[in-house]
A and B are shown apart, each in its own frame.
Chain A
Amino acid sequence: MVEIHTAEQDNFHLIQVEGDVDASSSIHLDETISEVESQAKNILVDCSKLEYISSAGLGVFMSRLQDYENEGRQMILFGLSEKVLNVFQILGLDQLLIIVDNFEEAKDRVDAI
């Protein structure tokens, strides 16, 4: 259902999400982010192979917003397809999370910190 790969980089951790993040699989994304959080301050999430996301997946990102803001962490999502981005837009989450077009832009955001 969902495949998740992580890679450590200089000043961030990269998480690649592939497939569907729904009520049955969102737990895997949640656990991966929790593991990565202890190793890196900034997290880049590659969504270019994310085919579907439901509220359970949105919740994984939303539930961290408050803490990340307090801790000065950055989580940047990139590579979202039009239909996946639209799901973030329905409730205006695209305005609260950092979403950029591609990896270069995401990396520039982290480098600028």
Chain B
Amino acid sequence: MQFDYMVPCSTNRLKEVRNFVNQVLHEYEFSEVDINRMVLAVDEVCSNLIIHSNNCNPEEMIELRINVDPEGIVFEIKDQGMAFKPDSYHEPSLREVIRKKKKGGIGLMLVKRIMDEIEFQSESSHNVCRLYKKI
């Protein structure tokens, strides 16, 4: 089954994205905790894209596609902002984040712990982030 949703790049719209993911996943037999974890992972990726790749420009859009099949779920998040370069990303330790009193920087850490695989792909016109979760 495939589910699509499109949302402008504004953090005020994240709740809508979460509602959409929640709704889709509630169609299947997942626990509330598991649903919330997947909702969180999608929310974190969308927040990063909205804030860092698209400067909260509501004229830019994010496209979310969820594919559910017997083996697992694929969340595909597409945008046209600045590409995220996973090679230049250094994952901080939790201790480092605490010592530096940083308020951000743990979103992607959460996504990595929740999902089985993350893939970033950039083409000339758009970027795609794919999150894979085995069932």
Contact = CB atoms under 8 A, between A and B. Distances in A.
14 contacts: A22-B14, A22-B43, A23-B43, A30-B103, A54-B47, A54-B107, A55-B44, A55-B104, A55-B110, A56-B104, A56-B107, A62-B98, A62-B103, A63-B98
Interface in B108-125: 109-110, 113-114
Given A66-B101, A96-B98, A1 B113 contact: no
Interface string A84-101: 101100111100100000
A20 interface: yes
Nearest to B18: A52
* Size category of the binding interface on chain A: 20 to 34
Which 7 pairs between the two chains have the least Cβ-Cβ distance? A24-B11, A59-B103, A83-B36, A23-B47, A55-B107, A63-B103, A23-B11
Contacts of A62: 97-98, 102-103, 106
B33 interface: yes
B7 interface: no
Contacts of B39: 52
B94 interface: yes
B102 A93 contact: no
Contacts of A111: none
B104 A86 contact: no
B103 A87 contact: no
B114 to A, nearest CB: 7
A20 B15 contact: yes
Contact of B15 (A1, A30, A90): A1
Interface string B13-32: 01100100000000000001
